[in-house]
Chains A and B, each alone.
Chain A
Amino acid sequence: MRELARVVVTGIGMVSPLGPLPRFWHRVRAGEHGFVPIDWFDPGPTPPATAARVRDWQPKDHIKPTSLRRMDRFSQMAVSACRMALDDGALAPSATEADAIGVVIGCAYGNLLETETFLGGLIAKGPALANPMIFPNLVLNAAAGYVAIELGLRGPNSTVCRNEISGEAALAVAYDTIVCGHADVVLAGGGDELSPVLFHVNKDLGVLSPGRRRRGGGASGREWSSPFDRDRNGMVMGEGVAMLLLERAEHARARGATPYAELVGHAMRSVAAPTHLWPRPAAVPAIADELRRLRAADAIDVIVSCANSTRDLDAFEATHLAALLGERTPGALVTSVKGAIGEFGGAGAFSVAAAALALRDRAVPPLATLRRPDPACALRLATTDAPPPARVRAALVSGTARGGACTALLLAQP
């Protein structure tokens, strides 16, 4: 195979239920979570009634007032996260440089709040009064468009829609954008915003956790997300946007940037599953075959899994990852950030951010809510009392979406 350009992560920015980057990383490592009772819309009379909402974020700190007025909340999160990623990567591009910088955002739904408003108005008042001011914001790529406008970026611009693994998929597309020579620098990542409709749809589908099981049965009403726990009973919804600054390694070196990690490559394959369900437990040998070709595939010390505390997805991940690791790196420590920030469209971008941070700091965020590991899961789980890894040479990010699409991204020491 031809020698591909090497790609590194040189900046991270985020708007999250645990706050911006330094606080997110501190809190997720300390085992904190961002779940709060839903009081900003009516979650219904019975549990689940908890979600992870973004906090410690002031859009006006990142976006000028004239722009802010027209911008939907999801786009505000994306623009804020991109600005923070550029700052974190100490990249202040000139106008000419900005012409070549790309943007790839992954999201499942994007601007749902205004979509609800627009459709609600259309249904209640008819087409003559439909709001022309918010309609342009409803396209899924409004956020990527606003990022381009606010930061002056005219490089390749795309929006990837891949349910829960939209974030991982966006980073995979961004990697290909760089190695194919379309751009040297790409801001890539993703997220989604929590909306009443999305919450109620998932509640009606029965995939949300109704709360911690108490001794003697019943639920306490305090929702929880506990990936890989034997008593896990559903996911908690979250929101946020994480963006990573990806650069061709030579570009980063030439400007003296210090990378968090190298994005070594990725594999995308899919397995059979109905569009609205996670697949049944299975190995995905085609992903293992793809990964085997990558540098550092034999040095995976950490896995950031997409496990989200649903019965189905965590069972799938346990089987898939055990088969993927096989005899080669059985000691890899497996974690997930969904117990801290919940599940949403581009949540995988936070998994990739966590993997990059784990490589830089040689630290693994724990599965802080894990009480009793699922005995069917043969992985080495990052419980709070698990000894920290002796070394973090490479980290794998694994994502599986409803409908059966799977992505694996491999990051390594730069």
Chain B
Amino acid sequence: MQASAPQVVVTGLGTVNALGSSVAEFAAALRAGTSAIGPVTLFDTKGYRARIAAQVHDDDAPATLPRALRRRSSRSDVFALRATAEALAESGITDAVAPDRIGVVLGGTTGGMLRAEECLRARIEGRSARYGADPIIGAPISVSADVVADVFDLRGPRLALSTACSSSGNALGTALDWLRLGRVDAVVTGGTESLCRMTFAGFNALHALSLEPCRPFDRRRAGLSLGEGAAILVVESATHAARRGARAHAALVGWGNSADAHHLTAPHPQGTGAILAMTRALANAGLQPADIDYINAHGTGTPLNDAVEAAAIGIVFGEAPHLAVSSTKGAVGHTLGAAGAIEALATILALRDGFVPPTVNLEEPESEWALDLVPGRSRDATLRYALSNSYGFGGNNTSVVLGHA
């Protein structure tokens, strides 16, 4: 169906993450190679092995948010609302399209868990006989999509997808499918995630957290650093964008998804699922491996992920491919359900502004990988097409292909 499917472009960008409170701030920090990983102050980290993350410190709810919603909104909802406000304001889509022709599909993994934990603690410690309504109501992962749709009056299809750390990659792909099928005229898509004790404790217990800021693809890499934030994209068909004179930042040209069918947390040793996701994404985009100039890798900084991903890239793109590969997780942390969206945003900025984001904290690349891993500093480059990889628990793999509008 690719032949007759419409081209899809990105006409609105928004983000809140530890590197910046807007797309402009994020782009500048990304290019400068800054890392936002530091001490966690959101909750008490006493008793944890690792005590660092890429925490968002500018975390106020939008001033315009009605009081009832402000009380009810979780940290994830607040990030999503702020990123959506930025993306919608820039795209102007809500002035051009009827509310029921705008869909919402977001990725996330823990929703309002941070406050639900407090509420559960109060009940377990006997301080409260009832579950507080607001934190529990706000806990499900689907709520951020509801809050975004409600605040901005978006009445099209509305979904949340949760495939662990590939959640928002799948959200972007689903948005692309909706537009190709003509289900809607525009989609607000992306992902949102807030730090919470449950994920921090879980990764801590698995010994997956690095004690110092993560070093993707480094020989001494020792785990990941968690992060938080949201990235939102407004996507629509190219003809629709052109007709209304909207500025297109990039094109969303294809996606692929697979399951490892191997293990819930460990990647397939031969990278079978990662290879399937990349080749499916290329086929879906109608491209060849040689068309890709840059890969924003999943690159978590865990020993296993980076080794398997590097090998999988070698299999799909050849032993010493011409393309650049970098991970932005040393800069912005692993934002789990938002990672696919934040990294797609980084990839869009790279395509649009002509640079390759660096792998921050990478000093000593593994010698066995013949990959250009862009250590430390960004560099200028004209990129034709780029791929963004996201891999998650459950053995879920997603690759998204982006290009010029």
Contacts and interface: CB of A to CB of B under 8 A. Distances in A.
Interface stretch (A128-136, A227-235, A315-323, A377-385): A128-136
B63 interface: no
Nearest to A110: B162
B155 interface: yes
A105 to B, nearest CB: 10
Given A162-B159, A275-B150, A157 B124 contact: no
Query: Which one of A4, A141, A181 has the highest number of Cβ atoms from chain B below 10 Å of its Cβ?
Result: A141
A103 B396 CA distance: 11
A350 interface: no
A275 B137 contact: yes
A204 B131 contact: yes
A386 interface: no
Interface string A176-191: 1101111000000000
A180 B174 CA distance: 10
Contacts of A403: 142-143, 146, 150, 158
Interface in A75-122: 98-99, 103, 108-109, 115-116, 118-120, 122
B181 interface: yes
Contact of B180 (A180, A201, A204, A269): A180
Given A135-B202, A139-B393, A145-B264, A158 B257 contact: yes
Contact of A155 (B183, B204, B259): B259
Interface in B180-231: 180-183, 197-198, 200-207
A182 B162 CA distance: 19
Contacts of B154: 270
A153 interface: yes
A145 B393 contact: yes
B403 interface: no
Give the interface residue-count category, chain A: 35 or more
Nearest to B68: A274
Interface residues of B, number: 78
B307 interface: no
Contacts of A172: 157
A124 B125 CA distance: 8
A149 interface: yes
Interface stretch (B272-280, B340-348, B375-383): B272-280
Query: Which one of B137, B142, B204, B284 has the highest number of Cβ atoms from chain A below 10 Å of its Cβ?
Result: B142
A140 B162 contact: yes
B141 interface: yes
Contacts of B394: 139, 141-142, 144-146, 148, 157, 159
A123 B131 CA distance: 16
A180 B392 contact: no
A136 B199 CA distance: 10
A272 B150 contact: yes
Interface string B318-344: 000000000000000000000000000
A217 interface: no
B262 interface: yes
A138 B138 CA distance: 18
B4 to A, nearest CB: 6
A268 B396 contact: no
Given A127-B48, A139-B394, A182-B280, A158 B261 contact: no
A254 interface: no
B262 A149 contact: yes
Contacts of B162: 139-141, 159-161
A405 interface: yes
A109 B202 CA distance: 18
A264 to B, nearest CB: 14
Contacts of A118: 198, 201-202
Given A108-B140, A119-B198, A154-B259, A182 B284 contact: yes
A390 interface: no
Contact of A103 (B4, B174, B259): B259
A141 B164 contact: yes
9 nearest A-B residue pairs (beta carbon):
A145-B394, A268-B157, A135-B202, A148-B259, A403-B146, A132-B205, A157-B259, A140-B162, A276-B137
25 contacts: A1-B182, A123-B124, A132-B207, A135-B203, A135-B206, A136-B265, A139-B392, A141-B393, A141-B396, A144-B394, A148-B395, A149-B264, A153-B261, A154-B260, A155-B258, A157-B163, A157-B394, A157-B396, A161-B142, A176-B181, A182-B177, A268-B103, A274-B150, A275-B146, A275-B150
Given A157-B259, A166-B142, A204-B131, 10 more contacts: A132-B205, A132-B207, A149-B262, A149-B264, A157-B396, A159-B163, A181-B284, A182-B280, A275-B147, A404-B146
